[in-house]
Structure 1
Amino acid sequence: MKCAVVGASGFVGSAVVARLSADGLEVVRVSAPRLAWSGADSADILLQTELLPVADLLAHAIAGADVVVNAAGLASPDAGGETSLLGANALLPAVIARACERAGVRRLVHISSAAVQGRRQRLDESASVEPFSSYSRSKALGEEALRVRQPDPAARLDIVILRATSVQGPGRATTRKLQRIAASVLSSVAGPGQRPTPVTSVLGLAELVSALATFPGTVSTTVLQPAEGLTTSEVLELAGGRPPRHLPEWLCRGALGLGFGLSRLAGSRFHGALRRLEVMWFGQDQVLGWAAAHGVAVRGNVREVLTRR
């Protein structure tokens, strides 16, 4: 099987390439084009005109691939709504889908983010989204562009939207920041600290991508990355080397309510940081989902990642 990875040199892309290669797939590394969102209501409208040459170039780069993985995009939870963020996360997925159709690819695995479902208590695999920041809105637009696009009736493209959770990995800035917080006086959880958390590893994500790429049957349109079994207290204790402080739940909820209220007055400027604090205190539950229903085991190594210095 031949698999093309768009964005192969990035944090997620490099891990996906390594996993696919280890699993015996022929891997083609493809650089992601840089696109700018022009403000149109639909990515598909843009694809009718000026972006068709970009799709043609991508089609040439992925020619002969059975599966394409879109690991490109900007992972910037605190970013504003600049055109580069929307271009990479909202427009590029639709361009890649068009290129896949032209190249005769049978499956596209688009790596999205569970952030599209926002602050809901339980993540699921529905099309329902509740974005809360510029970053999560850009990822939600990318999913929408794939869902509402007009497919080529002659193509046989199977699109899978993979929602990655809070992915950690060696050398990642987000992971280093988590380790610094966990080792500081700010390390804390709400209540007993036994709530489930979506903190996972990039290895676990890459394992799931490989399973989706090689799965012989039909795959759900949306697949959620499985949790790796940590609680809010365990995440901080592993990352910081000591147990976190336990704060009253009412105090944490009150602080978050005030923080989000002030952030809204500032144009949602601090929503990303507040959301990370909310997940640190309260975690986030999720359904077992497609992977569990189909016996797809994702081991990951989040414990090792968090304790590595």
Structure 2
Amino acid sequence: MNWLVIGGSGFVGQEILGAARAAGIEAHTAPAPRLRTTADTPETVLADARRSDVAVLTGLMAGHDVVVNAAGLATPSADDSAGLRGANALLPAVLARAAGAAGVRRFVHLSSAAVQGRTPMLDESGAVQPFSAYSRSKALGEQTLALLDQDGLAVATVRATSVQGAGRPTTAALARLARSPLASVAAPGTAASPITSVGALADLVVAVGRHSGEVPAVVLQPWEGLSVRSVLEAAGGRPRVLPAWLCRTAISGGFATSRLLGGRLDGHVRRVELMWFGQDQVAGWAAAEGLVPAPRVREVLGAAALPDRR
């Protein structure tokens, strides 16, 4: 097989390239074009995509069986902007158009489980409940791809959960938090955590791209088995267990305050909510097909804790 990874120099893209090559796939990379749009509905984003010139991209993709979009702006706390929408909403549709024109067999788009917001159970449906500029831009990208009709091109969106890896600032920040006095969970601390590893995500993308049969429109990254408490413990912490009612009251108050400030605190409050309560998820397509990657997140968190232990 011959793959092209758009954004292969990034955090996730590099890992996908390595996993693909380790699986015997000839994998290449190309940078993503920088796009901007003020469109705010799937229909208007699609209209922008159809007006975009894809000739250069089509030439880059020619001869490839699978194209992976690992590009985009992974900035959960970002403000809304034409650049954010361009990278996360318009770019996937433009790349898919080019892939279809180049005769690519499958297009795999990397999205985020953040599109489903605060739902108690993450799943692989098209239902979204975005709560921030970032999650809205990613949801808009998914919805636009769902409208795009490219004959002969199979499109699969992989929803990554809270991905951690060596060298990622968010992983280092999580390790620092775990060993701080702020490390805590809502009682009893056994809720499933969506914290996962970039290695497992890359393995899932390879499995989706190589699969010989049909793949659903949305594939959710599988749970790696950690609870909210064991995540913090794996990162070297000893979290306090707080009364669940107190945590719920604090979260409600945090979101209420954020609404008064135009939603500026939503991302921060949501991170605390995930630390305390986690988020459950369905087993999904990967489990049904026997394609769940080997869990690696415990080792990733342990390694992130090592610099401060020396």
Q: How many matched pairs? A: 302
Give the aligned partner of residue 135 of structure 2: 136
**Per-residue deviation, 1:242:** 3.2
Root-mean-square deviation (CA, aligned residues, Å) is: 1.0
The answer to whether 1:162 aligns with 2:161 is: no
Contact 1:205 1:300 in 2 (8 A): no
Q: Which residue of 2 aligns with 1:230?
A: 226
Aligned counterpart, 2:283? 288
Partner of 1:305: 300
Instruction: Deviation per CA, 1:243-277: give whole Å up to 9, x if none.
Output: 20011111110010010011111111111111111
Shift of 1:46: 1.1
Contact 1:78 1:272 in 2 (8 A): yes
Q: Secondary structure, in 3 states, of the residue corresponding to 1:48?
A: helix
Contact map agreement 2:113 2:122 (CA 8 A) in 1? yes
| C-alpha distance in structure 1 between counterparts of 2:227 and 2:100, whole Å | 42
* Residue 281 of structure 2 corresponds to residue 257 of structure 1: no
Paired position in structure 1 for 2:17: 17
Alpha-carbon separation, structure 1, partners of 2:139 and 2:12: 19
Corresponding residue number in structure 1 for 2:45? 43
CA–CA separation in structure 2 for the residues paired with 1:48 and 1:58 = 14
Matches of 2:248 and 2:239, distance apart in 1: 18
How many Å separate the matches in 2 of 1:85 and 1:35? 9
Do 1:167 and 1:202's aligned partners in 2 also have CA atoms closer than 8 Å? Answer: yes
What letter corresponds to residue 305 of structure 1 in structure 2? V
Bigger shift: residues 177-186 or 261-270: 261-270
Gaps of 5+ in 1: none
- Aligned partner of 1:92 in structure 2 is 91
Contact 1:117 1:129 in 2 (8 A): yes
SS in 1 for 2:32: coil
Q: Name which of structure 1's ranges 291-300 and 100-109 shifts more when overlaid on structure 2.
A: 291-300
Q: Which amino acid aligns with 1:135?
A: Y
Which residue of the other structure, out of 257, 265, 269, is the alignment partner of 1:274?
A: 269
CA distance in 2, matches of 1:75, 1:18: 20
Counterpart-to-counterpart distance in 2, 1:300 and 1:37: 38
Q: Which amino acid aligns with 1:254?
A: T
1:195 maps to a residue whose letter is: A
SS at match of 1:19: helix
Report if the CA contact (8 A) 1:207-1:300 is conserved: no
Q: What secondary structure does 1:162 align onto? A: strand
Could you tell me how far apart the structure 2 residues matched to 1:306 and 1:63 are? Answer: 39
Secondary structure at the counterpart of residue 120 of structure 1? coil
Shift, 1:130, TM fit? 0.3
Which residue number corresponds to residue 184 of structure 2? 188
- Judge conservation of contact 1:43–1:90 (CA < 8 Å) in 2: yes
Q: Does 1:33 align with 2:33?
A: yes
> Which residue in the other structure is 1:197 paired with?
193
Distance in 1 of aligned mates of 2:125 and 2:298 = 29
How far the C-alpha of 1:28 sits from its partner, in A, is 1.3
Partners of 2:49 and 2:214 lie apart in 1 by 27
Amino acid in structure 2 at the alignment position of 1:74: L
Q: Structure 1 stretches (4+) deviating beyond 4 angstroms? A: none
TM-score (ref. length: structure 2): 0.96
Q: What's the TM-score once normalised by structure 1's chain length?
A: 0.96
Q: What is the CA distance between 1:63 and its match in structure 2? A: 1.0
Q: Percent identity?
A: 53
Instruction: State whether residues 164 and 205 of structure 1, in contact with CA within 8 Å, keep that contact through their aligned partners in structure 2.
Output: yes
Alpha-carbon separation, structure 2, partners of 1:218 and 1:156: 12
CA distance in structure 2 between the aligned counterparts of 1:97 and 1:290, rounded to whole angstroms = 22
Structure 2 CA distance, aligned partners of 1:62 and 1:171? 30
Q: Kindly state the Cα deviation for residue 40 of structure 1 after the two structures are TM-superposed.
A: 5.9
